Structure 1
């Protein structure tokens, strides 16, 4: 069995993206891909050179086969992924616009991802891991996934595995009160928290700056706040750093947050400080939003480095 440096757990769905610029109700052609925050981060980190294991469930159907095929092709370890004979794989259908609201249609209720056996996950799921990455989406799917998320957090603490957590609030999964009840307490169980300013306010009932101070006092080592102006701020015991987003043409903004997480976490895993991690996160996000689908534009490590040099130093953008 492969040894994974990073483990993610969450929902992976079949993604159908309408032709760019065409509203969902009018679209006639679609591009197939994979959707799901944790899967996006898994693919992003794998492309950046990290050994990644994805935990989750898909149905015994063509959509599930496509999801697993795509993850496997990206080098993601699926040794603990499960195929459920009873429930289908979730499907996400959306359109793609650079400058107007995007419509997203979920077909996930009762999907395989919403179910988990009572004895899962087992201790072996974190073998060899340095980092466990979770989002708030997973515990909001069902009581099964809420329990499994809690179990993984317990295993990570027992084994000294660093936990990164992105609330990734999706209001279609529940109202503010439900998010505050289920996901709010999980913020304090993270070592690295990546959250939008509005998410922090919704989940804590405090202003973002106050929430950051409270979370840091409660032991969260690194709090990264994604600000409304698209900059990101990292706060640790050593200080605070801010990185504006890089100015690039936007083709499809969906997936930027997951891309940023992959870039930031990759730098952290390589022992780089918050300032460099913010820059790499911003670079990976900037590259991703220039392509359609959540994962198509996620770069390799060399592509990230070349793009970052061009953004910061104005270096050559054409690779000859």
Structure 2
């Protein structure tokens, strides 16, 4: 989607100026992974309009392969507006019903492209867009699993897009096919009736996940696997600028660790750091760091000002 970020706080009816950027959980993860030095591909469906061309250009400019993104000549690119009030998370308003992305179908998939990947990352947001989008996610997962591609899944529950009953049914079904899950405490409460990280991790492991990294915000994350469970402390950000995108940064950091063959604690540390740095800058993806920047933030490398 194209994101319009107000340059002032207050109800949108009193806001007149906005900064334009892009938004989207999957594109956020793709961009964050590319900045961390990985080869990444992103596919979706864009409108044959200036907003669609803008999104494609921005993501491609971040070093992400967008060659499999398809174009819809009949539907428009989706939009998102943020509404800001002091010291609280922003409200978001979606304008994506009947958008190009909501009309993505299995015919838009390049199956060989999916087969060639190491990890396929999907989120609950795409599942919520439409029945055809849902079928497309299921098909992508089916192809990936049959070719030993790891499935990474962030529930990313957005109750503005679907109701909890429908969300719970579909998300729990996807969890059964997931290798690496990234639930938040709030999502645990919605899906399982508990926000206790240990219980969330064990429940999803029993459903078939190999790794569950539960996001705990500033407290860090709780990582559960079939061999070990561990709380990994987070990074304190005194004055976060924008928390949207932090969860996507976390997922990207963790997957970067997996791709670099780090142990799970190191994956959690990297994930926490990328997620924390994402909150230092206004915008969904603007704050994602390079590998060198995040190492300096973690104290692994020395920062030289001049």
For Structure 1 versus Structure 2, the TM-score category normalised by the shorter chain is: over 0.9
Counterpart Cα distance in 2 of 1:300 and 1:122 = 29
Contact 1:34 1:67 in 2 (8 A): yes
Indicate the residue corresponding to 1:32 in structure 2: 20
TM-score by length of 2: 0.93
Secondary structure of 2:16's counterpart equals: coil
Counterpart Cα distance in 2 of 1:174 and 1:219 = 25
* Worse overlay, 61-70 or 117-126: 117-126
Per the TM alignment, residue 124 of structure 1 is displaced from its structure 2 partner at its CA by 1.6
Label 1:27 to 1:317 Cα distance change in 2 as closer, same or farther (>3 A): farther
Label 1:297 to 1:211 Cα distance change in 2 as closer, same or farther (>3 A): closer
2:99 to 104, 108, 111: 111
Counterpart Cα distance in 1 of 2:117 and 2:102 = 24
Label 1:300 to 1:101 Cα distance change in 2 as closer, same or farther (>3 A): closer
1:297 and 2:283 matched = no
1:157 to 131, 145, 148: 145
Counterpart Cα distance in 1 of 2:274 and 2:195 = 28
Cα RMSD of the aligned pairs, angstroms, is 1.9
Counterpart Cα distance in 2 of 1:153 and 1:242 = 29
Counterpart Cα distance in 2 of 1:188 and 1:265 = 19
Counterpart Cα distance in 1 of 2:64 and 2:23 = 15
Secondary structure of 2:160's counterpart equals: helix
Per the TM alignment, residue 118 of structure 1 is displaced from its structure 2 partner at its CA by 4.5
Per the TM alignment, residue 151 of structure 1 is displaced from its structure 2 partner at its CA by 0.3
1:124 and 2:112 matched = yes
The number of residue pairs the alignment matches comes to: 304
Indicate the residue corresponding to 2:277 in structure 1: 287
Label 1:20 to 1:84 Cα distance change in 2 as closer, same or farther (>3 A): same
Label 1:25 to 1:316 Cα distance change in 2 as closer, same or farther (>3 A): farther
Where does the alignment leave 5 or more consecutive residues of structure 2 unmatched? none
Indicate the residue corresponding to 1:197 in structure 2: 185
Per the TM alignment, residue 137 of structure 1 is displaced from its structure 2 partner at its CA by 0.7
Counterpart Cα distance in 1 of 2:217 and 2:57 = 36
Contact 1:20 1:292 in 2 (8 A): no
1:187 and 2:175 matched = yes
Per the TM alignment, residue 27 of structure 1 is displaced from its structure 2 partner at its CA by 2.1
* Worse overlay, 158-167 or 205-214: 205-214
Counterpart Cα distance in 1 of 2:304 and 2:275 = 19
Counterpart Cα distance in 2 of 1:241 and 1:69 = 40
Secondary structure of 1:119's counterpart equals: helix
Label 1:41 to 1:96 Cα distance change in 2 as closer, same or farther (>3 A): farther
Per the TM alignment, residue 239 of structure 1 is displaced from its structure 2 partner at its CA by 1.0
Label 1:20 to 1:280 Cα distance change in 2 as closer, same or farther (>3 A): farther
Counterpart Cα distance in 2 of 1:195 and 1:45 = 19
Secondary structure of 2:146's counterpart equals: helix
